[in-house]
Chain A
Amino acid sequence: MSDAMTRMAPADVTMAAPARDGEVLLKVEDVSLSFGGVKAIQGVSFDIRKGEIRAIIGPNGAGKTSMLNVINGFYHPQQGRITFKGNVRSAMRPHEAAAGGIARTFQNVALFKGMSTIDNIMAGRSLKMKRGFGWQLWRGGPALAEDVAHRRFVEGIIDFLEIQAIRKQPVGRLPYGLQKRVELGRALAMEPDLLLLDEPMAGMNVEEKEDMCRFILDTREQFGTTIALIEHDMGVVMDLSDRVVVLDYGRKIADGTPDEVKADQSVIDAYLGVAH
């Protein structure tokens, strides 16, 4: 084949990372969180730039999930500032975070088990519904029109995640890997600016992980979503993310590109332990 053809594929399909000098979407400054005597997070600062995939890693109990919970307003840090889309906030409730454009998935799947895939994802649209209870009860006129529009959006997500075959199945009966996908679907239904993924690949086999990686990359490409994820599979983290922040015992020990982080001595020590 001609040279021109072989050059067709971009050298890096994951796209040139917009990370380095992008606009800051979320900024965490000197945040500390403790539960009684347990100091979950101590003086951590980092930022997430628009359009990047940002990984938060660290050994067990490093404070990763607590960090996500702080970002989406579930925990209120005792100290520190969080700036999201230019607005400084200290205490905020999860539903305010959701309305502000932050969506998330959970480490242990948190779906409505008895509801179908489509209803679960539709639930993610509830903040976007404008018509009130009365209108919805009538199921006609403007409420119906609104419902149709939302359904179209949700069908787009179902198509995107390739879960047409389970559209009407109750999610409780689905295998774990698919449940994770439905959960991602529900988060995407909120059209978030910032998507928080808590161990999206936990408990998946290689094939499912590869699918999930593709969905995450395609999510950014198609919807322009900024993504922050916690993940234990280092292969996935290093492949996927533009920048990585490393936590250990509630403190930030490293922050940078995957290559920088990989070479960082304190990271190696944290993961492998240090001889005393």
Chain B
Amino acid sequence: MAEKAVVDQVVGDTFAKLMLEHVRLRPQRIAMRWKDLGIWQTWTWAETGEEVMTFSLGLKSLGVAHGDRVAIIGANRPRLYWAILAAQALGAVPVPVYADAVADEMSYVLDHAEVKVAVVQDQEQVDKVLSVAERLPTLKHIVYDNERGLRAYDHTHLHSFVALQQTMRARIAAEPQLGAAWKKAIADGKGSDPSIVLYTSGTTGRSKGVVLSSERSIAAARDTVAFDRLTDADEVVCYLPLAWVGDHYLSYAQGLVAGFCMSCPESQATVQDDLREIGPTFYFAPPRTLEALLTRVMIRMEDAGALKQAMFKFFLAHARRWGEKVLDGGDVPAGARLLYWLGNLLIYAPLKNVLGFSRIRTAYTAGEAIGPDLFAFYRSLGINLKQLYGQTEAFLYVTCQPDGQIRSDTVGPAAPRVDIRIIDSGEVYFRSPGQFIGYLKDDDKTAETMTPDGYVKTGDAGFFDQDGHLKIIDRAKDVGQLRNGSLYAPKYIENKLKFFPNIREAVAFGQDQDFVTAFINIDLTAVGNWAERNNLAYSSYQELAGHPRIYEMIAANLDEVNRALAGEPRMAGAQIKRFLILHKELDADDGEMTRTQKVRRSFVAERYDPLINALYSGKTECPIATEVTFEDGRKGMLSAVVKIQDLTLFPAASAAAYREAAE
């Protein structure tokens, strides 16, 4: 296979070696794009090699040596990706940090990783690092990309990225052997050394530093590049957080293995436009993003003319019926095929173009369960959207769906060369080519997570269905029981709730209680739009959340979930009996969610303890005052009286009756 040959040509067990290979093999091909001043700026592999070399030598001049850790803080910018490569070229270990982390969180990671140099995007990040600098004895230098607002700062330990490169360019011109020595050092680099430390999002407690080696990372990336047939002609838009394993794997590792171009958006707010301009061929989005996109499309369609709306509805219905079959090459009558072709001409293709999905060959979603309707919507338009299940500890892939075996309720069979074992308690263990070396400075945790025979414990409960596809139900430790012994899987219930566009977030409670209750966060875009159309005046999230008509609407959604739960023999006991709509949105700044937008259940339970008590004590409302943190780190108080509503439960259907009802 010609494509495979390209992949195999790039030999090397470190990312720096791969980069030099690309510089040699395809010097004039575009390696990187970034939209700046409204224009896509490009860098070829040859230019990338030069940028990385000059910056790498710059880092060296700041005292960075083999084994030192270098923090990378900021959005997806070419210079920050180069900084990762530059550090790796020296044998140093980059530690990407979430750019939206507040100073305290940042100081934990920088301190724990004993970072020597921090490469940051702009003044905002410089200020954050400086504000905690006293607590970081190992930190010696800060390098920034964007000089805006930083001119007046003391530059003794603060350096401009570009200036550092300029200095090194002059030195390389004077002493050409510098470059040769740098390349020699790369050639001597070992693939078994740590290549990066990625901090887990910390859904449960403090985040842990996952140490990955480059040989394993590259081995894993080679497998999936072959699996999805990626080549140097592919295009990705890097818009996911740098510090997240997904971006490091899907964009960076796969990009360096396959040699494709990485495009960095102009800013976080322009991602949608940038996607459209680039037209990526490989795309990843968490279900949350896909849902937000769909909501936006639907809302905007409501403002369209009658003819357009009618066409949209008609062809979407047709796509729902036949689209996935067309995509999977199933048996579709000629008439339906023709109509689908027409629909593609009139609706699907233009819609995909607006979303920037025109050229997608492979798209993945992961991170949480995806609603069946949502999943089907994108697939029916002809987008090859698939699911994967992964972990930072695995360097992403544990399972993934091969083309043609796509389902919304499973995450697919084991990924290439991954072994999966499910132990008696239902917890999923895996062994994968990309798996981590250990947690940074935490041998106890490492020993706890790895089995003696080399398997990694995921902490997730799941099972294989009859087709050999893995189905994840919840975190293993969260699956519990009600007082009457009914099985209770909170995540399972919450996911069912979150499939409603009105509900943005849900937190279920019930462990060792008599019945299940839930906190609801409404989706301000969807519900706000509904309120506008129904002449419901509101001035804030809080006011909208407390409105009786919104309660009515949400109660109807919950009824539907209860009905579905009643139909599943194992879950019927876990229907939601009482619920409330929270007076504020759960927010990572308040510690209620992780930076990857997952709810921290125990923290929320503790923080809103009075509300939970009220849910189980039969009260109909409960006053609550909550401390909130603003984006700049200041705090304020938010108080409200939250209403609580009861729901009628459905009788548990016997398995037979359920089948009957379904028919």
Interface membership of A222, Cβ < 8 A: yes
Interface membership of A276, Cβ < 8 A: no
Interface contact A13-B266, CB-CB below 8 Å: no
Alpha-carbon gap, A38 to B532, bound state (A)? 45
Which of the 9-residue segments A60-68, A151-159, A232-240 touches chain B? A151-159
Interface membership of B417, Cβ < 8 A: no
Interface contact A159-B152, CB-CB below 8 Å: no
Alpha-carbon gap, A156 to B36, bound state (A)? 9
Interface membership of A93, Cβ < 8 A: no
Interface contact A9-B130, CB-CB below 8 Å: yes
Interface contact B152-A8, CB-CB below 8 Å: no
Q: B143-187: contact bitstring with A at CB < 8 Å (1 yes, 0 no)?
A: 000001101111011100000000000000000000000000000
* Total cross-chain contacts (CB, 8 A): 72
CB under 8 Å from chain B, chain A span 1-51? 1-2, 4-10, 13, 15
| A8: chain B residues within 8 A (beta carbon) | 130, 133, 142, 153-154, 156-158
Size of chain B's interface in residues, with CB distance under 8 A? 31
Alpha-carbon gap, A4 to B156, bound state (A)? 8
| B153: chain A residues within 8 A (beta carbon) | 8-10, 13
> On chain A, which size bracket covers the interface?
20 to 34
Alpha-carbon gap, A216 to B490, bound state (A)? 49
CB under 8 Å from chain A, chain B span 9-55? 36-39
Interface membership of A131, Cβ < 8 A: no
Interface membership of A269, Cβ < 8 A: no
Contacts known (A10-B154, A162-B267, A222-B148); A155 close to B38, Cβ less than 8 A: yes
| A152: chain B residues within 8 A (beta carbon) | 37
Interface contact B130-A218, CB-CB below 8 Å: no
Interface membership of B273, Cβ < 8 A: yes
Interface membership of B269, Cβ < 8 A: yes
Interface contact B630-A206, CB-CB below 8 Å: yes
Interface contact B630-A4, CB-CB below 8 Å: no
Interface contact A210-B632, CB-CB below 8 Å: yes
Interface contact B152-A15, CB-CB below 8 Å: yes
**One of B37, B140, B142, B630 near A156 (C-beta < 8 A):** B37
Give min CB distance, B128 to chain A, whole Å: 11
Interface membership of A221, Cβ < 8 A: yes
Contacts known (A8-B133, A8-B156, A10-B153); A207 close to B630, Cβ less than 8 A: yes
Interface contact B157-A5, CB-CB below 8 Å: yes
Alpha-carbon gap, A15 to B156, bound state (A)? 17
Q: A195-226: contact bitstring with B at CB < 8 Å (1 yes, 0 no)?
A: 00000000000110010001001100110000
Q: Interface on B for A, CB 8 Å cutoff? A: 36-39, 127, 130, 133-137, 139-140, 142, 148-149, 151-154, 156-158, 266-267, 269-270, 273, 630-632
Assuming A221-B149, A222-B148, what are 17 further A-B pairs, CB within 8 angstroms?
A1-B135, A2-B137, A2-B140, A5-B157, A8-B153, A8-B156, A8-B157, A152-B37, A155-B38, A155-B39, A156-B37, A158-B38, A165-B269, A207-B630, A217-B149, A218-B148, A218-B149
Can you list the 9 inter-chain pairs with the closest CB atoms, starting with the nearest?
A165-B269, A155-B37, A1-B133, A165-B270, A8-B154, A155-B38, A164-B266, A9-B130, A15-B152
